Structure 1
């Protein structure tokens, strides 16, 4: 394998070790995190923007002399996979971006791969995590082995235009931008191909954003009023925020927010959006959590209720709980299923989201909304649950929460996860306590990225 110094500029943060050099790599299997595994002179290299089986010339981006492994971006394809396609977004195209002297933006790291192959690679990652972390044989499990496509009715099979939420940075010159992967570099953007039309129609790239550090946009798929959240830099005056709001359409709400505290201050319109799913309307405040794919809420609600109903765990009069409930997406559907003779405990740690859940579910007397940590609430409110829904953040539930869930002795748990590694780790905790994987589905809710969503049914062993 050859190594040479790249003629393109090397960011100051990349000067250590061999960063900025290039190496010819034979690309091996996909790994969790959006990269593939290669080797260079006996050292593992995690290379992005490649496909298993390719030979590439890669730029080393993180290559300290004492590091256990290196990272790299493929910049030229010497032997291409038949699954390689032209990237739909120039800023996220590694070869094109580095050819212009800068790294690619993050958020579309699989955009060079045919969609069907993307899903195969995601299935490979899930299978590897299940085997290694949970001790599950994927071939003998309750999973078909595939990752299901979502949203093709809206995107004609392109995998574009699905994001109802988008997060942006701001360049030093006040232009809308995005971070490069694992970098402080912010690159100006003039489009977001993965976002729905309502987000791109705001043309935020035409607005002077000086005084702003971050911009979050929520544009509900139901067509209701979008919300633009501005994170002001210290010292930014309210007058500057109002000036930015004046550059947006009149039917767009604008609010200021503090990313650290989550506090939201109204600038114009309302500081929340109205989402719809499964026959319910949901108020979601500020930067509160909501699934970002336009079809994700219906897809996940359908998968969860199908698994629970199929096992006889969700019916009129049942006692259930929605943990990490957010604004109450699953809670509302659970309340419908159990009726007024049943009960639903809805638990959410974030105060703002918990307040949203109370507003969204105030007309359902069978629902009790509690704000607090899941393990604490379960200790304080012990019940004999028929079923629990568990939808934790990307880090997963963790060993302590899993232990508390098992101690509450539910008949079944529907576990919704956006990270195969944390899910497989938690599944391992359940299995070591005698629980079984009774059902599993995987969904491609994040086309052109390495992410996927899983919905699993867990039940105590015989």
Structure 2
């Protein structure tokens, strides 16, 4: 079966950058295609109950199909971009369909309306942090989908200009497993290397980078997490504040708070009579947040796992919840409900995890009162959402 060529009529998009087709009684997850197309596909993987395949010939094309701008896009090539063969508008519609489907299937909310909003800057040249894999001969590249092989590349078109101009793909890298380039909004580019699962090491540029967002300048380690789209940080902050409508004197929690991106504007909104508690498990993250927010006395920074910290923090009026890709989970949500908060703004980078947490919130008789989705990762299947929950 693996390697066979089959003709498939392609159905709806599915979470993960592929579409769904059927071959006899088997579901086939097909990459490099669009809903409504007829394709010739090569079977790449055989699993119990389903198959995976790559569309290698388009027999009947969707009107949304375009020629991928990147030389490395396509079957068996770079796995970084999922939708280069679709117009930017069609990509946003595909992502909206995925969020809607996940909310229905995992969240129990059928037909929830979703629109994915475009961010400024266009679909190329946006990614300010790029991690390259290292091939056995020292060249840099990316992994094909579901493969450990490294495809060497000369240039990544979704990388920001600073990343592309760094010259890292023009040399050989011996003795390292990954090379990361960080092009911050202020200052010079940093280049980091990593061996195995060890900590990254800065080999060129500043060890501390500066980012401009939410009306402030943030100083953080080059390896620290930051939104990779230049417009994402300000966009997400604006969405969170609009949903929560923080009031003077309120008490706010910023959970999984990282560098304090949300804590700072929350503090300004609740004023000196209010308070903000930022919770983050990573000590280096909280150390940076404490320095960055030192001018805001109403902010306190807690280094602890969120589920543990919540058992000791007491009540809150509003909560910002920005969990890892796996989601918040039932234990954290139960503790949030116990705070008596009037509203929660949930920042989600994975629609499946968000949908599972929607179901959990609903089990506590909370409602999904609003949702905005943003195309913070053009050309890929990823989408960023901000959801509003209320009791």
Coarse TM-score class (shorter-chain normalised): over 0.9
* 8 A contact 2:193–2:202 mirrored in 1: no
**Alignment-derived partner of residue 110 in structure 2:** 137
CA deviation string 1:377-427 (max 9, x = no partner):
111221x21100001111100111111111122111000101111101101
* 8 A contact 1:84–1:114 mirrored in 2: yes
Residue-pair matches, total: 391
Whole-Å separation in 2 of the counterparts to 1:47 and 1:320 = 44
Q: Find out whether 1:59 has 2:42 as its counterpart.
A: yes
Which residue of 276, 279, 283 corresponds with 1:344?
276
Whole-Å separation in 1 of the counterparts to 2:89 and 2:226 = 26
**Alignment-derived partner of residue 453 in structure 1:** 384
TM-aligned CA distance change 1:319 to 1:30, over 3 Å:
same
Whole-Å separation in 2 of the counterparts to 1:109 and 1:269 = 31
* 8 A contact 2:256–2:280 mirrored in 1: yes
TM-aligned CA distance change 1:170 to 1:217, over 3 Å:
same
CA deviation string 1:167-203 (max 9, x = no partner):
1101100011111111011010111111110100012
**Alignment-derived partner of residue 423 in structure 1:** 354
* 8 A contact 1:264–1:286 mirrored in 2: no
Deviation, structure 1 residue 347: 0.6
**Correspondence list, 1:436-451, <5 A:** 436-451=367-382
* 8 A contact 1:160–1:193 mirrored in 2: yes
Deviation, structure 1 residue 349: 1.3
Deviation, structure 1 residue 266: 4.9
**Alignment-derived partner of residue 119 in structure 2:** 150
Whole-Å separation in 1 of the counterparts to 2:220 and 2:194 = 18
**Alignment-derived partner of residue 228 in structure 2:** 292
* 8 A contact 1:324–1:348 mirrored in 2: yes
Q: Find out whether 1:46 has 2:33 as its counterpart.
A: no
Which residue of 105, 124, 137 corresponds with 1:160?
124
**Correspondence list, 1:268-279, <5 A:** 269-279=205-215
- For residue 295 of structure 2, give the secondary structure of its aligned residue in structure 1: coil
TM-score, normalised to structure 2, is: 0.97
Whole-Å separation in 2 of the counterparts to 1:120 and 1:276 = 30
CA deviation string 1:144-186 (max 9, x = no partner):
x3111111xx33xxx1111111111011000111111110110
Deviation, structure 1 residue 432: 1.3
Whole-Å separation in 1 of the counterparts to 2:205 and 2:169 = 21
**Alignment-derived partner of residue 84 in structure 1:** 65
Q: Which runs of 5+ in 1 are unaligned?
A: 1-17, 95-102, 234-258
TM-aligned CA distance change 1:386 to 1:175, over 3 Å:
same
TM-score, normalised to structure 1, is: 0.82
TM-aligned CA distance change 1:402 to 1:40, over 3 Å:
same
Whole-Å separation in 2 of the counterparts to 1:286 and 1:23 = 47
Q: Find out whether 1:196 has 2:127 as its counterpart.
A: no
Whole-Å separation in 1 of the counterparts to 2:171 and 2:27 = 44
Which residue of 32, 54, 63 corresponds with 1:73?
54
**Alignment-derived partner of residue 145 in structure 2:** 181
Deviation, structure 1 residue 232: 3.2
**Correspondence list, 1:252-263, <5 A:** 259-260=197-198, 263=199
Structure index of larger Rg: 1
Q: Find out whether 1:207 has 2:171 as its counterpart.
A: yes
Deviation, structure 1 residue 358: 1.2
Runs of 4+ aligned structure 1 residues displaced above 4 Å come to 264-269
Whole-Å separation in 2 of the counterparts to 1:267 and 1:193 = 24
* 8 A contact 2:186–2:209 mirrored in 1: no
Whole-Å separation in 2 of the counterparts to 1:69 and 1:360 = 49
Whole-Å separation in 2 of the counterparts to 1:109 and 1:119 = 12
CA deviation string 1:117-160 (max 9, x = no partner):
11111111111111121122335xxx5x3111111xx33xxx11
- For residue 174 of structure 2, give the secondary structure of its aligned residue in structure 1: coil
**Alignment-derived partner of residue 363 in structure 1:** 295
Whole-Å separation in 2 of the counterparts to 1:106 and 1:265 = 26
**Alignment-derived partner of residue 11 in structure 1:** none
- For residue 166 of structure 1, give the secondary structure of its aligned residue in structure 2: strand
Considering only aligned residues, what root-mean-square deviation do their CA atoms show, in Å? 1.4
Q: Name which of structure 1's ranges 329-338 and 294-303 shifts more when overlaid on structure 2.
A: 329-338
Deviation, structure 1 residue 20: 2.1
**Alignment-derived partner of residue 227 in structure 1:** 190
**Alignment-derived partner of residue 20 in structure 2:** 37
Whole-Å separation in 1 of the counterparts to 2:141 and 2:15 = 26
**Alignment-derived partner of residue 114 in structure 1:** 87
- For residue 92 of structure 1, give the secondary structure of its aligned residue in structure 2: coil
- For residue 217 of structure 1, give the secondary structure of its aligned residue in structure 2: strand
* 8 A contact 1:264–1:271 mirrored in 2: no
